[in-house]
Chain A
Amino acid sequence: MSIRTETPTRPRIGSDAAPILSFDNVCKRYGSLDALAGVTFQVNRGEVVCLIGPSGSGKSTLLRCANALESIDSGRVLMDGRDVHDRRTDARNLRRRMGMVFQNFELFPHLTVLRNVAVGPTTVLRMPAAGAAARAMELLRKVGLGDKAAQYPAALSGGQQQRVAIARALAMQPDVMLFDEPTSALDPETIGEVLSVMKRLADEGMTMVVVTHEMDFAKRVGNWIVVFDHGKVVEQGPPRQVFEEPTIQRTRDFLSHLGWHGESLAASDLLVPAPSGSYEHRTSD
């Protein structure tokens, strides 16, 4: 089964001609269920690609296939031209170049915030503890949590935990960041602090693949929107096109289900500009 969506041309953000991450007709089955039924799209260097679509449409599965946490049944995922699922590919080496952020944070509860961020560099990169701690501290300051370094994750709010999780992924100095609904488990008040960290990251040129229901973020920060349904890409294009004039009825239904009716939103206070040089989010508390 090979349903290929026509990929509209798009402006290149980075200078590299080849996409950093590309999905070519990727299929993944769970038993008789086609979680991914021929997914094709590309992520260029420096782009923020937002994946949207209803629950169960295969977005999380796709991210897990991207860094080989899940195997695929057919098709190809290429990272920098390397076949992620090829048996000769060193999956661990690839994974550390793709940072991953999860819906429910998945911080390591038995480690302090600092150790959560430093544990990747010390165990995977065999970095000396002092160097890893210094790098971790720097990243924690960047996400505005320098003062929480000695705490355990349980003592942090959801938004703070998610910012630690972002710092933990950044500590591996990845080329691509994969976000799986990073704000879905958060209280409305703390969503903004995570989104603003992500926006700063995008502004710095990080390549990002973001599964999200935050249409406002997708529209403002995303360079490319990919709409999923039933394991397929039903539509993709630049945000203006997908949000303002979706070509597919399914996209329209999904967007209106989320309360989006095609009109541009007024400036939202969701994405508070952060002080320069820091991802720190200005909060009132």
Chain B
Amino acid sequence: MIMDRKKEQEVALELVEDALRQVMDPEIPVLSVMDLGMITGIDIASDHIGIRMIPTFSACPAVQVIRGGIKKKLEQKFSIPVQVDIDPEISWNSNRITEEGKEKLRHFKIAPPSAISEWEEGSLSAIPCPFCQSRNTYLRSPFGSTLCRSLHFCRDCGSLFEHFKELE
């Protein structure tokens, strides 16, 4: 019966993850908390679900909204009390965004972050343009419309575009 119990747990975990894929970041509504790599722990017990999460940028004003969004979504779906805690042990970094998340950013015309291992301060000067893919671009400002974005200009197609910043 041990195998069955394990299997049950796996199924439950997948269901919770699916539900979390429907909780979006209010600042970038195409990305879910799973895409962003904000979930650091899922604990499924018989009488409650515990979620641990981390904010992206430390002053991100959306954290409380997201926290509430997770609780509401899971409680609706599973009819069981849900506790969402901020995990102090782990710091978010931009490598936590999944490949799927990066692809969604590209579709949304926001240039995704590069892998941090390849990232140097200077590399902000040649971010690929999400409209025409040209690297002939320059940094207009390290601060965009939200804390996680920087502002760039493409010399080839003349677009002003945003980039999800690398954060180590």
Instruction: Please indicate whether A and B come from the same complex rather than being unrelated chains.
Output: no
